[in-house]
Amino acid sequence: MGEDGPVTSASQRPDGHPPVTRLIATDLDGTLLRDDKSVSERTVAALAAAEEAGIEVFFVTGRPARWMDVVSDHVHGHGLAICANGAAVVDLHDDGRIIEVRGLARSAALAVVRALREAAPGTSFAVELTTGIHYEPHYPPFFQDPGATVAVAEKLLHEEPGAHAAPVLKLLAHHPELSPDEFLVLARSAAGEYGSITRSSPTALLEVSGPGVSKASTLAMCCAERGISADEVVAFGDMPNDVEMLSWAGTSYAMGNAHPDVIAAASGRTVANNEDGVAVIIEHILADRRPPAPDPAADTDRA
119 or 1, which is more confident: 119
Task: State yes or no: pLDDT of 12 exceeds 60.
Answer: no
Task: State yes or no: pLDDT of 9 exceeds 90.
Answer: no
Task: State yes or no: pLDDT of 294 exceeds 90.
Answer: no
Question: Is residue 30 domain-resident?
Answer: yes
Q: Which domain holds residue 111?
A: 106-209
Domain boundary among 176, 209, 242: 209
Confidence of residue 71 (pLDDT cuts 50, 70, 90): confident
Question: Is residue 7 domain-resident?
Answer: no
Task: State yes or no: pLDDT of 298 exceeds 60.
Answer: no
Domain boundary among 209, 226, 250: 209
Q: Which of 203, 219, 125, 221 is nearest to 171 (CA)?
A: 125
Would you state the pLDDT for residue 77?
A: 60
Based on the domain organization, do 203 and 227 belong to the same domain?
no
Interval 238-242 mean pLDDT: 97
Could you tell me the CATH number of the domain that includes residue 127? Answer: 3.30.1240.10
**CA separation for the pair 187, 198 (Å, rounded):** 9
Share of the chain above pLDDT 90, in %: 74
Share of the chain above pLDDT 70, in %: 84
Based on the domain organization, do 92 and 113 belong to the same domain?
no
Interval 215-225 mean pLDDT: 97
**CA separation for the pair 229, 249 (Å, rounded):** 9
Residue 10: other Cβ atoms inside 10 A: 19
Entry field: residues in the chain: 303
Task: State yes or no: pLDDT of 181 exceeds 90.
Answer: yes
Task: State yes or no: pLDDT of 161 exceeds 70.
Answer: no
Interval 48-64 mean pLDDT: 93
Task: State yes or no: pLDDT of 5 exceeds 60.
Answer: no
Would you state the pLDDT for residue 291?
A: 61
Q: How many structural domains are present in the chain?
A: 2
Task: State yes or no: pLDDT of 132 exceeds 50.
Answer: yes
Domain boundary among 175, 209, 243: 209
Return the amino acid letter for 79: G
Using CA atoms of 123, 133, 247, 231 in order, give the dihedral in degrees to the nearest 10: 180
Task: State yes or no: pLDDT of 122 exceeds 50.
Answer: yes
For the purposes of burial, counting CB atoms within 10 Å of the CB of 41, is it exposed (0-12), middle (13-18) or buried (19 or more)?
Answer: exposed
Question: Is residue 226 domain-resident?
Answer: yes
Would you state the pLDDT for residue 303?
A: 44
Would you state the pLDDT for residue 293?
A: 55
Based on the domain organization, do 32 and 180 belong to the same domain?
no
* The 3-state secondary structure of the chain, one letter per residue: CCCCCCCCCCCCCCCCCCCCCCEEEECHHHHHCCCCCCCCHHHHHHHHHHHHCCCEEEEECCCCHHHCHHHHCCCCCCCEEEEHHHCEEEEHHHCCEEEEECCCCHHHHHHHHHHHHHHCCCCEEEEEECCEEEECCCCCCCCCCCCCCECCHHHHCCCCCCCCCCCEEEEEEECCCCCHHHHHHHHHHHHCCCCEEEECCCCCEEEEECCCCCHHHHHHHHHHHCCCCHHHEEEEECCHHHHHHHHHCCEEEECCCCCHHHHHHCCEECCCHHHCHHHHHHHHHHHHHCCCCCCHHHHHHHC
Would you state the pLDDT for residue 144?
A: 58
Q: What does the mean pLDDT of the chain come to?
A: 88
Would you state the pLDDT for residue 92?
A: 86
**CA separation for the pair 6, 175 (Å, rounded):** 36
Interval 211-215 mean pLDDT: 97
pLDDT in tens, 256-293: 999 999 999 999 999 999 999 999 999 999 998 766 55
